[in-house]
Amino acid sequence: MSDLHSVSRGDIERAAGVLASGGLVAFPTETVYGLGANASDPEAVARIFSVKGRPTDHPLIVHIANVDGLERWASSVPKIARQLTEVFWPGPLTVLVDRAAWVGDDVTGGRSSVGLRVPDHTVANAVLDSFASLLHDQPAGIAAPSANRFGRVSPTTADHVRADLGADVDLVLDGGPCLVGVESTIVDCRGVVPAVLRLGGISLERLAEVLGALPDVAGPTARSITSGMMPSHYAPQARVVLVALEGLFANVTDQTQRGFRVAVLAPAVVAGLPDEAIELEPAGTADNYARVLYDRLRQADRLGVDVLFVVPPSPDGIGAAVVDRLERASAASDGE
Ligand code: TXA
Ligand code: MG
């Protein structure tokens, strides 16, 4: 068995048992930590919504052990879904497909589609395998949104989960910090052309390599069908303001002079900031920016920051997902 971090084989089996008996397990994936329940158990799924404080018409992603699950949870598998999952599973890609007739309204928010993904994390994969073996021949899926309260910043460590959800989860598996750090890319595979509903761990450029062209990125109206697409998502308590490097000094000076507690997050060290401004550890390359983003947003809150000025990464590759999350965090700060 490959590295399970600080999780033991016994913990994996316990997690599978908790899921099979209707409980909630928070577990690491390569993107963010998920709050998992048996996707075929309506009462367990209802607990996810109540613990998260999430409206029940917002659908959940169903995590499956391998590509065979696609056939079982979907009524039919479009060619595009097949192509994309062949290349990107296990990995940070969620495909939307028409749901099989038996799949519940509770997990899909009453929609005719279901979101499916095979994650890429030794702990998540071990839990999925162990859970599937407990269910014998029944289709095994773990419904799991990010393990944070609705609208807040997604967790990328077990400590983030514990800080957010505390005793409301039956078991938290600690698989270390998530390596991707932003959520999966969601691709609606049901149309003639695929549509990206959420930017995430698989970049548009990588999708284009498989599809032969850049996919459509759904505009705000279509995207609002996914709850993670609400403008006010991914928000810390601090007001988040996106700013170009050139404008940083003047903005920071203005806000510190007005008496606000100010912090700065940027890809690299910024010279010459006023002494009162807190400079968070630089976020580095786009890949690293994605990995540390949510932890830095949480850190700003722990430090009691009023205004967080953020210099974003360049918006290509995974940088596009980082910019997307930062824009949402900043829209939330505007009271949207
Ligand atoms: O990386 C991820 O995707 C993480 C990890 C835990 O796998 N999960 C995650 O789940 O981000 P959540 O619930 O926080 O965000 C899932 C998004 C929501 O915006 C939801 O509305 C959308 O996926 N979604 C899921 N199923 C859908 C469906 N059938 N139709 C439209 N949107 C769907
Ligand atoms: Mg979420």
Range list of H helices, 236-285: 245-257
Rounded CA Rg of the chain: 20
Indicate the fold that domain 233-333 takes in CATH: Rossmann fold (3.40.50)
Distance CA 13, CA 110 (A): 32
| Rounded average pLDDT over 69-92 | 97
Q: Report the separation in Å between the CA atom of 33 and the middle of ligand 1, taken as the mean of its atom positions.
A: 12
What are the E-state strand segments in 125-229? 142-143, 171-172, 185-188, 195-198, 216-217
* pLDDT tens digit sequence for 198-233: 999 999 999 999 999 999 898 655 555 554 555 556
Hey, which residues does 241 pair with through a beta bridge?
Answer: 309
Ligand nearest to the CA of 32: 1
Mean pLDDT of the chain: 93
Domain 9-229 in this protein, CATH class: alpha beta
Residue ranges around ligand 1 (CB below 6 Å): 29, 31-32, 34, 58-61, 92, 94, 96, 108, 111, 113-115, 117, 119, 144-146, 183-184, 186, 225-229
Using alpha carbons only, give the angle 257, 234, 264 rounded to the nearest 5 degrees: 30
Least confident among 88-92, 241-245, 306-310, 329-333 = 329-333
Q: For residue range 279-291, what is the model confidence (pLDDT) as tens digits?
A: 999 999 999 999 9
**Amino acid in the structure at residue 1:** M
Which two structure tokens, joined as six digits, stand for 100?
Answer: 């099989």
Nearest-angstrom CA–CA distance, 88 and 207: 9
Q: Where are the domains positioned within the chain?
A: 9-229, 233-333
Whole-model pTM: value is 0.95
Beta strands in the chain (DSSP E): 25-27, 34-38, 61-63, 93-98, 113-117, 142-143, 171-172, 185-188, 195-198, 216-217, 239-242, 262-265, 278-279, 307-310
Confidence class for position 13, pLDDT limits 50, 70, 90: very high
